[in-house]
């Protein structure tokens, strides 16, 4: 019989190796092995043992830990979250060995567009030592790791490209300590103490508005912007354009469609000039017609503070326009779903408050939707209406706002357009007020579906096709009329929806607004123009046009905003007949 003693050491070595995909026994990988160079762990579903790291932060349901001895691959994260399902005993600085099961956690299980965060669940935790220094944070910048500057994700996750794709870059830092120096605020604080920032040294790589808004372009998706959760103890108001004098240092997490820095220090704001609200200051001639479109975000007559603030904006900042196209006026019962559809009391409360603020006496025409058919907040029956003043020579010429679009499929469970016919200086002025279907159904911009899905876009395109055809008929019936389509299009001037007006007959007045001011909303730190006006070129040829966006809300913390939109304002001056 041959001797076989030499076989046993080999069998022992093989049995002690770790192999992803074999869940029959516990394995002992390092954190960077668990994370891998991908968005999901190669060990998902497996039981692992003695995974070591330093506790860096804890919350009510677990803690983050990081390996102080990283590997030489930039694509692998050295951090991981340990889900204890209770407030953990371990504290930052503890060196621990964790055993448990590897899972990928989605913060919203019902949402298929969410990326996941790698976790160790059902853990057993061994304390190895305490009082250890925390691993140094990774600096987001040229002296550390520089985020991609243009692309969020362009290959459908077929490759893990941390140098080009923002999603892959931030995934490579998941659950690690991260530092942002000279952070610039590109989204003011919301009610959850969340802001969006940009690393200071990346400012020169981007386009900003005078107020500090980060402008999105077709070539730049602004992947370097990142959400930050400020500590509850941070009490200062954070507006657009603010900058931090001290580094932001925290844990990079992912939840609800965003990579998020959980700030673990007490940051200090730098000295920043106070943000001011813009206002229209030009002197109107008797031949000028001033028109504004403004989404007033679920305005209820029971919100007296907002009614007062909105009225002050209309009088002081918008110079009391001749025509106001307002979106999202709620019915007289607010959000109570009691069958009420009239908004006459709400509109009367608004025009009364405008007059109290020193404005003119406005007239209004209500636009009654079918109950529970217009979308928006439940029970609110939001609608688009006109307010108009007659003390400067404007007159109202029709009795109804209806354009008979209620039975058009594109406007089902949405807001049909409304039509106001006016006369000014002997000129017929037709104004269509629009509020297209929203983007709420879009998948997350920093999510698992790339490029993000836009399921309501075909409906918006169908809506603008119908509106463009209706407006073209108005022009055919009255070639000399000025025809203006104004409102919240819930899409940008470059979108497929607005392309339905891309003909020789129409001028999108967005093109007349300076590029650096061309935005009316901020979303996740990126500025876009949703509120727009389109004018028939026949009218444009006989008038002088001055249009602008008056930035009253978007730059300020959510608690100080009257609306989440800024109004678009048009001064239309009629030339004297030769």
Residue 400's pLDDT is: 65
Same-domain status, 162 and 298: no
Domain assignment of residue 81, yes or no: yes
Could you give the count of Cα atoms lying within 13 Å of 358 in the half-sphere of its Cβ?
A: 8
Residue ending a domain, choose from 69, 102, 129? 129
Mean pLDDT, to the nearest integer, of 363-388?
92
Residue 348's SS3 state is: helix
Largest Cα–Cα distance in the chain?
A: 119
pLDDT digits (tens, 9 = 90+) for 544-571: 999 999 999 999 999 999 999 999 999 9
Please identify, among 106, 129, 152, the residue that sits at the C-terminal boundary of a domain: 129
What is the mean pLDDT of the segment spanning 19-27? 57
CA 524 to chain centre: 4
| pLDDT at residue 348 in the model | 98
Confidence at residue 107, expressed as pLDDT on a 0 to 100 scale: 87
**Single residue among 112, 129, 146 that ends a domain in this structure:** 129
**Residue 271's pLDDT is what?**
85
Name the pLDDT band for 7 (thresholds 50, 70, 90): very low
pLDDT at 21 over 60: no
Tens digits of residue pLDDT in 182-226: 999 999 999 999 999 999 999 999 999 999 999 988 889 999 999
- DSSP-derived 3-state class of residue 471: helix
My answer on whether 316 and 412 are in the same domain is yes
Give yes or no: residues 301 and 256 share one domain: no
Note whether 98 and 32 are same-domain residues.
yes
> Could you report the per-residue pLDDT of 81-139, keeping only the tens digit for each?
999 999 999 999 999 999 999 999 998 766 788 999 999 999 999 999 999 999 999 99
State how far the Cα of 366 lies from the Cα of 347, in Å rounded to an integer: 8
The H or E element containing residue 442 is none
Residue 57 sits in a domain of what CATH number?
2.40.50.140
Q: Compute the mean pLDDT over every residue in the chain, rounded to the nearest whole number.
A: 93
Residue 268 covered by a domain: no
- Residue 269 burial (CB < 10 Å; 0-12/13-18/19+)? middle
Task: Identify whether the C-beta of residue 478 lies closer than 8 Å to the C-beta of residue 144.
Answer: no
Instruction: Verify that 198 and 157 share a domain, yes or no.
Output: yes
pLDDT over 70 for what percent of the chain? Answer: 94
Tokens of 231: 């500590």
Q: For 259-272, what is the mean pLDDT?
A: 94
Q: 258-263 and 226-229: which strand pairing?
A: parallel
- Are residues 352 and 418 both part of a single domain? yes
The pLDDT value recorded for residue 110 is 62
| Same domain (yes/no): 539, 393 | yes
The answer on 481 and 337 residing in a single domain is yes
Give me the domain span that covers residue 489.
Answer: 289-574
Q: What's the rounded mean pLDDT across residues 377-393?
A: 95
Considering the domain architecture, whether residues 147 and 193 belong to the same structural domain is answered as: yes
For residue 348, which phi and psi values (nearest 5 degrees)?
-65, -40
Residues 98 and 171 in one domain: no
Q: How far apart, in whole angstroms, are the C-alpha atoms of residue 48 and residue 243?
A: 43
Domain count for the chain:
3
pLDDT at 57 over 60: yes
Tokens read off for 489: 């299009």
CB 180 within 8 A of CB 226: yes
Q: CATH number for the domain including 487?
A: 3.60.10.10
Mean pLDDT over residues 63-91, rounded?
Answer: 97
pLDDT score of 18: 47
250 with 177: CB under 8 angstroms? yes
Give the pLDDT of residue 578: 52
Here the tokens at position 552 are 């009253």
Same domain for 382 and 505: yes
Cβ atoms of 518 and 529 within 8 Å: the answer is yes
- What pLDDT score does 226 carry? 97
What letter would DSSP give residue 220? B
Can you tell me the mean pLDDT for 519-528? Answer: 97
Rounded Cα distance, 431 and 333, in Å? 28
Same domain, 311 and 220: no
């Amino acid at each position: 019989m041959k001797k076989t003693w030499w076989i046993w050491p080999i069998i022992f070595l093989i049995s002690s190796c770790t192999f992803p995909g074999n869940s029959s026994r516990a394995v002992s990988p390092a954190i960077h092995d668990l994370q891998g160079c991908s968005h999901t762990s190669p060990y998902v579903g497996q039981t692992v043992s003695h995974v070591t790291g330093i506790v860096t932060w804890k919350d009510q349901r677990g803690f983050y830990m990081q390996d102080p001895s990283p590997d030489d691959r930039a694509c692998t994260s050295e951090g991981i979250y340990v889900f204890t399902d209770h407030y953990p005993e371990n504290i930052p600085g503890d060196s621990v060995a964790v055993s448990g099961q590897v899972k990928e956690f989605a913060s919203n299980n019902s949402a298929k567009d969410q990326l996941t965060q790698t976790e160790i669940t059902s853990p057993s935790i061994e304390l190895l030592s305490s009082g250890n220094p925390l691993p140094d944070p990774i600096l987001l910048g040229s002296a550390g790791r520089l985020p991609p500057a243009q692309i969020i994700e362009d290959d459908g996750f077929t490759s893990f490209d941390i140098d080009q794709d923002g999603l892959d870059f931030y995934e490579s830092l998941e659950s690690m300590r991260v530092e942002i120096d000279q952070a610039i605020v590109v989204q003011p604080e919301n009610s959850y103490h969340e802001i969006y920032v940009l690393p200071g040294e990346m400012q020169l790589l981007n386009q900003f508005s005078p107020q500090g808004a980060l402008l999105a372009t077709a070539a730049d998706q602004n992947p370097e912007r990142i959400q930050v959760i400020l500590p509850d103890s941070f009490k200062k108001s954070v507006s657009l354009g603010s900058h931090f004098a001290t580094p932001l240092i925290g844990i990079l997490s992912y939840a609800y469609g965003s990579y998020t820095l959980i700030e673990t220090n007490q940051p200090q704001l730098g000295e920043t000039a106070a943000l001011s609200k813009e206002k229209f200051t030009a002197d109107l001639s008797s031949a000028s017609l001033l028109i504004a479109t403004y989404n007033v975000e679920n305005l209820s007559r029971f919100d007296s503070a907002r009614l007062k603030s909105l009225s002050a904006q209309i009088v002081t900042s918008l110079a009391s326009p001749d025509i106001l196209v307002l979106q999202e006026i709620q019915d007289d019962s607010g959000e109570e779903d009691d069958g009420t559809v009239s908004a006459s009391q709400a509109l009367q409360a608004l025009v009364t408050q405008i007059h109290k603020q020193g404005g003119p006496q406005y007239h209004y025409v209500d636009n009654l939707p079918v109950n529970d058919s217009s979308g928006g907040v439940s029970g609110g029956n939001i609608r688009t209406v006109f307010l108009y003043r007659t003390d400067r020579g404007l007159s109202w010429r029709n009795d109804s706002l209806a354009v008979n679009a209620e039975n058009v499929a594109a406007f089902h469970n949405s807001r049909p357009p409304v039509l106001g016919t006016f006369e000014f200086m002997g000129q017929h002025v037709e104004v269509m007020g629009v509020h297209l279907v929203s983007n709420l159904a879009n998948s997350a911009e920093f999510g698992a579906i790339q490029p993000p899905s836009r399921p309501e876009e075909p409906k918006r395109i169908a809506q603008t096709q119908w509106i463009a055809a209706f407006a073209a008929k108005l022009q055919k019936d009255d070639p000399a009329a000025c025809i203006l389509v104004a409102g919240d299009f819930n899409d940008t001037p470059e979108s497929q929806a607005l392309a339905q007006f891309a003909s020789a007959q129409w001028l999108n007045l967005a093109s007349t607004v300076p590029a650096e001011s061309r935005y009316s909303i901020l979303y996740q730190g990126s500025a876009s123009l949703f509120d727009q006006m389109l004018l028939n070129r026949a009218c444009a040829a006989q008038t002088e046009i001055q249009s602008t966006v008056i930035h009253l809300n978007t730059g300020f913390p959510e608690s100080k905003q009257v609306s989440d939109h800024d109004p678009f304002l048009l001064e239309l001056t009629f030339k004297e007949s030769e």
